Homo-oligomer: A and B are copies of this chain.
Amino acid sequence: MAFTVVVVGVGLIGGSFALAVRRAGLADRVLGVSSPATLEKARNLGVIDEGLLLEEAVPKADLVLLSATIHSIIETIPRLSGLVKQHALVTDAGSTKRAIMHAAEAAPGLPFIGGHPMAGKELSGVEQAEASLFEGRPWVLTPPRDTDEQGVAKLKTIVEAIGARPLVMPAEEHDAVVARTSHLPQLLSTALAASLDGHFGNESPVLAGPGLIDATRLALSPYSVWKDILDTNRDEITQAMSDFLEQWKEQHARLADNVDLRDQFGKATGFARRLRQ
């Protein structure tokens, strides 16, 4: 039986998903919904078979992936209720989950299961898409409260087939964890680079080693990517920032008072090593 995938927002993530489901033999047809320029690029690159309007594409879909920005996903969801055919599934790739699940639960009869593939690259855009992007990466699934277990099982199978590791959890848990593992490191890198920009002015320091390159890699991310994430996970992020602030003040006080930092380094190296196991 033919299986049609519709990708709404054909960028790095949406494009890579399109390539991955086709490579895995899961999709007979991949349709894209995006700007005309992006759709043309995606067609030329062989990422999608055809570009259509949302209203044309969604009724043909067995699976819809919403992979634009969070606010755009939230705006698209209410438009889907009347368009989705029976037994189809809708999921998304938004980086925060509570606000999106809230929108989905308000859409009558929408067969929606939230998702967040924890994969990416420094560069974005459909030109960067690759079928292997999700291999070995976590792919979170956040079902709604009244979920269809069959739908979750089906989506897990698809995620596994493209090489990712499905992890099912409530949207609340997802948002609390990524506030610390993703959003906090981003804001630290941004604050470090902004603080050094303030100190060094328009000069770059000549004495920059590989440590500073690593530490400022996330700072390259543009605000356009982060605006929606900060907007929709504000409470968890400000809490994680406060926790970090306490840690920072303690390290500062110990250093100023000539007390050693052995404990802090011990905890930090332990955590960093466990993360790599």
Residues of A within 8 A of B (CB): 118-120, 137-138, 140, 167, 174, 177-178, 180-182, 184-200, 202, 204-223, 226-227, 230, 234, 237-238, 240-249, 251-252, 255-256, 258, 260-262, 264-277
CB contacts (< 8 Å) of A211 on chain B: these are 182, 185-186, 217-218
Secondary structure dominating the interface of A: helix
Complex Cα distance A67/B189, Å? Answer: 31
Known interface pairs A188-B215, A194-B267, A220-B272; A207-B251 also in contact (CB < 8 Å): no
CB contacts (< 8 Å) of A242 on chain B: these are 252
Complex Cα distance A220/B243, Å? Answer: 21
Known interface pairs A182-B211, A218-B214; A241-B234 also in contact (CB < 8 Å): no
Complex Cα distance A192/B243, Å? Answer: 10
Of B138, B238, B246, B272, which is within 8 A of A206 by CB? B138
Complex Cα distance A189/B211, Å? Answer: 10
> Shortest CB–CB separation between residue A219 and chain B, in angstroms?
4
> Shortest CB–CB separation between residue A93 and chain B, in angstroms?
13
Give 12 pairs: A residue, B residue, CB < 8 Å, sorted on A. A167-B207, A184-B196, A185-B212, A189-B268, A191-B248, A193-B271, A197-B271, A198-B243, A198-B267, A214-B214, A221-B265, A230-B255
Contact B271 A207 (CB under 8 A): no
Complex Cα distance A255/B241, Å? Answer: 10
CB contacts (< 8 Å) of A272 on chain B: these are 189, 193, 216-217, 219-220
> Shortest CB–CB separation between residue A115 and chain B, in angstroms?
13
Complex Cα distance A167/B214, Å? Answer: 23
CB contacts (< 8 Å) of A206 on chain B: these are 138, 167, 177
